[in-house]
Structure 1
Amino acid sequence: MTPLVDPSLNRRKLRIALRRAREDAGLTQRKAAERLEWSLSKLVRVENGTVSVSVTDLRALTHLYGITDPAAVEELETAARGSKGPSWWSRFHDVVTPQFAQYLGYETAAVSLATYHPIVVPGHLQTRGYAEALLRPRVDDADRLARIVDLRMERQERMFEGQGPQETLFVLDEAAVRRQIGGGAVMAGQLRQLLDFAGRPGVTVRVLPFDAGAHYSTLGSFVLLGFTDDEDLLYLEYATGSMTGGEDPELLGRYHECLEQISRLALGVPESLDLIRRVEQDLDQG
């Protein structure tokens, strides 16, 4: 049976709570590890949310940090018990890099997501046919291609069936709307799916038109994740992926400004959907 709460969410809950408790106790990571007679790397992994936490280790941490409130301790112990086990994407381990797996954990926990892509429709919104046509030129192995597409489809289903961010903003460059990936029929189906998703609660789809000119992010795509209990996260979609949070507030701030600029230049929602609809109708008629 699939757990109601993904283990990655419990690991994240522990990461935030334990990091803050350590800081409130006036301890550095190195000093806390020394007091516990742990390796520094073990404590770092706990605070990064990349490993589960045993109840025994948790009790050692709460004792060291002076967490004595019974309700708080019980809540953390429940999270520790729930931090074990595989996350939903673990069965795709053969096609998911460690960096992207870490990002998926953040994405699952985010309350908001905003993304811009200058070239193609982002993976969150792709149809199976579009995804297959997009990936086929660079994934030679048919089985591996199917695995990557299956991952993409499951991620999409979870995101739009109540297990992802509550508010999502997708800004697509006009090039992404007009570039025919997979031929006219596949592209028309993709555009119809964009219109379908745009009609769902909490989902906003906008188009950055060609005449918007140059802007900060003409060279690449990015994702901004928002949280109620942690710093925002920036994910840059390089070949290996790159994440930035509170440790680089200047870069994070620049991309927030970039999103604001793109939002000012993009068409409004009705105009964006009209453009998508016109392109889709032209493909159907062609």
Structure 2
Amino acid sequence: MTPPVDPSLNRRKLRIALRKARERSGLSQREAAERVEWSQSKLIRVETGTVSVSVSDLRALLALYGVAEPDTVHELEEAARGSKGASWWSSYHDVVSPQFAQYLGYEGAARAVDTYHPIVVPGHLQTRAYAEALLAERGLAAERVRRVVDLRMERQQRMFGGPGRPTATFVLDEAAVRRQIGGRGAFRAQLEQVLDFAGRDEVTVRVLPFDAGAHYSTLGSFVLLRFSDDDDLLYLEHAAGSMTGGEDLELLAHYQECFQTLMERALDENASLDLINRVKQSL
């Protein structure tokens, strides 16, 4: 059974369509808000996808922007009806920060996800046992560990098991491939899962060897999200998490260039999987 479209994706569709329609009409956010007798902050929230949009509000904006093509109007009205309600991660509100919640909404809409981690296997690829062992060392309460791991497993299932799967490229540092987390058995199972994911058409796994040298993101992990209908986004994974896109093009460009450097210095796919398999066999 195909799961329903998450409300965040409908809000994103409306955000992009309404922003583009307003820009084509030549109106600023302030001018558009005044024409429909809204506060500017309400229009800003609609254009950032942080709130749902009622059908009546949508129709007011479409009329103002001169959008009248029946199929387009119908599609956007359906998106408005589907923009209400909680996103799938809302049930994990106790362990999801606002920044990460925003990131999850974007990740679900990305056509491509490029990830680098210098220390551990990225969360997208982790087994339950590996994730539990990793989090246990942070001194978290057992219930919080369970909740975070449940979130991680559901995110993984949605990313790799549902329709519209993104192209995913993972660059793992050799340290992540060799660091035994959770004991030999758990780590062996983790490497087996990485190899299983790497066998999928939409997934690429590369290993950055120890002799690759320094690069722009030597000390930190990051994710680049690419879209077919919007600008790329960068998510820096640290304690608070942070996301940047069009508001910091220079930083985004640095990390795009960094990922290209990582791909150039990493082992090719066959050599990468051979290394992972050899480490797994040694366990």
Q: TM-score range by the shorter chain?
A: over 0.9
Distance in 1 between residues matched to 2:48 and 2:139, nearest whole Å: 31
Paired letter, 2:31: K
Deviation at 1:164, TM superposition (A): 5.7
Query: Structure 2: how far apart are the matches of 1:2 and 1:150?
Result: 21
How far off is 1:165 after superposition? 3.9
Deviations 1:92-149 (A, max 9, x none): 1111111111111111111111100001100000000000011112252111110100
Contact 2:120 2:177 survives alignment (8 Å): yes
Amino acid at match of 2:200: R
Partners of 2:237 and 2:170 in 1: CA distance: 15
| Residue type of the alignment partner of 1:224 | L
Shift of 1:185: 1.3
CA distance in 1 between counterparts of 2:140 and 2:164 reads: 31
* Cα 1:84–1:3 shift into 2, 3 Å: farther
Residues 45-88 of structure 1, C-alpha deviations (whole Å, 9 max, x = no match):
11111111000111111111111222211111111001111111
CA RMSD for the aligned pairs? 1.4
Q: Give deviations 1:183-237, integer Å, cap 9, x for gaps.
A: 1111111111111111112110010000001111101111011111111111111
Q: 1:109, 1:165 within 8 Å by CA — same for their partners in 2?
A: no
Q: Which residue of 2 aligns with 1:258?
A: 258
Match in the other structure for 2:97: 97
Q: Distance in 2 between matches of 1:257 and 1:167?
A: 19
Counterpart residue number, 2:209: 209
Correspondence 1:183 to 2:183: yes
Shift of 1:2: 8.1
Q: Paired residue for 1:149?
A: 149
> Please, which moves more after superposition, 245-254 or 48-57?
245-254
Within a 5 Å distance, the mapping from 1:22-61 to structure 2 comes to 22-61=22-61
Q: Check the 8 A contact 1:108/1:163 in 2, yes or no.
A: no
Per the alignment, do residues 203 and 2 of structure 1 end up closer, same or farther by CA in structure 2, a change over 3 Å counting? closer
* 8 Å Cα contact 2:2-2:163 kept in structure 1: no
One-letter amino acid of the structure 1 residue matched with residue 113 of structure 2: L
The structure 1 segments of at least 4 consecutive aligned residues displaced by more than 4 Å after TM superposition are none
Take 2:68 and 2:200, find their aligned partners in 1: how far apart are those partners?
A: 44
- Aligned residue for 2:116, secondary structure, equals strand
Tell me, in whole angstroms, the C-alpha distance in 1 between the residues paired with 2:76 and 2:164: 23
Aligned residues: 283
Instruction: Specify the code of the residue in structure 1 equivalent to 2:218.
Output: T
1:253 Cα shift? 1.4
The aligned counterpart of 1:62 is 62
Aligned residue number for residue 113 of structure 1: 113
List runs of 5+ in structure 1 lacking aligned partners.
none
TM-score normalised by length of structure 2: 0.96
**Distance in 2 of aligned mates of 1:215 and 1:94:** 35
Deviation sequence 1:26-47 (CA, Å, 0-9, x none): 1111222222221222111111
Assess, with a 3 A threshold, how the Cα gap between structure 1 residues 3 and 204 changes in structure 2: closer, same or farther: closer
Once structures 1 and 2 are overlaid, which stretch shifts more, 245-254 or 95-104? 245-254
Partner of 2:273: 273
Tell me the distance in 1 between the aligned counterparts of 2:72 and 2:160.
Answer: 32
2:244 aligns to what?
244
State how far apart, in whole Å, the 1-side matches of 2:277 and 2:168 are: 20
Q: What is the one-letter code of the residue matched to 2:33?
A: A
Distance 1:29 1:211, change over 3 A: same
* Partner Cα separation in structure 1 for residue 65 and residue 204 of structure 2: 43
Change (3 A) 1:139 1:9: farther
